Amino acid sequence: MAKGKNEWFDWFKALLIALGLAFLVRTFLFTPIIVDGPSMAPTLHDRDQMIVNKFTYRFNEPDRFDIVVFHANDQKDFIKRVIALPGEHVAYKDNILYINGKPIEEKFFTENDISIETNDFTLEEITGNYSTVPEGHVFVLGDNRTNSTDSRLLGPISIEQIVGKASVIYWPFERLQFIGE
């Protein structure tokens, strides 16, 4: 009988260790997210399931064109693309992105992507307060510019609001891919 109790205790310990490790991984390293809506089309599709890398920004700042998940409010996280970094001026004119007055190619779009249609704007016009993205913030846009709640409405996003970098689409399986620039 003592052997049976010992075996159950060993299983219980193994289960507790596995749950503890899963908690630590999800809390500090990676977390799943489901894309909700069309704002990142054509890059991401509604209901794509992804892994978010939560530790990369503990050591590095976001880069231009990273796809990030951030806390939009207490109940909702958004997924968008970083367009401008702290200290940069951002503008769109005739569907061309300008950073600090220089045109920047958005290589993630193809010529067939109709969702890149972006209304002309400057940072000053949409935020009213800023001539450049404030320190500790980034400017984000959805890839589907005609159907996205992003920095044009929310203003610059604090780096502290960022949960992590979207790294991998794992479901649906036929869309399995690493996300990069």
> What is the pTM for the complete model shown?
0.81
Check pLDDT > 90 for residue 57: no
Residue spans of the domains in the chain: they are: 29-178
List the single range of 3-12, 70-79, 96-105, 145-154 with lowest mean pLDDT.
3-12
Check pLDDT > 70 for residue 180: no
Q: CATH number of the domain at 29-178, please? A: 2.10.109.10
Question: Can you give the pLDDT at residue 28?
Answer: 56
| Side chain identity at residue 7, one-letter code | E
73-97 burial, b if ≥16 CB within 10 A, otherwise e?
Answer: eeeebbbbbbbbbbeebbbbeeeeb
Mean pLDDT of the chain: 84
Given a contact cutoff of 8 angstroms between Cβ atoms, the answer to whether 121 and 152 are in contact is yes
How far are the Cα atoms of 59, 80, 111, 112, 169 from residue 108, in angstroms, in the given order? Answer: 25, 13, 10, 12, 16
Alpha-carbon distance of 139 to 83, in angstroms, equals: 6
Q: Is 51 left (phi over 0), alpha (psi -120 to 50) or beta?
A: beta
Mean pLDDT over 94-123 rounds to 81
Q: What angle do CA 104, 43, 92 make, to 5 degrees?
A: 30
54 included as an active-site residue: no
pLDDT band at 126; cut points 50, 70, 90: confident
Catalytic residue selected from 3, 13, 80, 167: 80
Mean pLDDT over 74-101 rounds to 92
Check pLDDT > 70 for residue 179: yes
What is the sign, positive or negative, of the torsion defined by CA atoms of 27, 68, 100, 151?
negative
151 included as an active-site residue: no
DSSP 93: E
Check pLDDT > 60 for residue 115: no
What is the sign, positive or negative, of the torsion defined by CA atoms of 140, 143, 149, 152?
positive
Catalytic residue selected from 3, 5, 13, 39: 39
Question: Can you give the pLDDT at residue 132?
Answer: 93
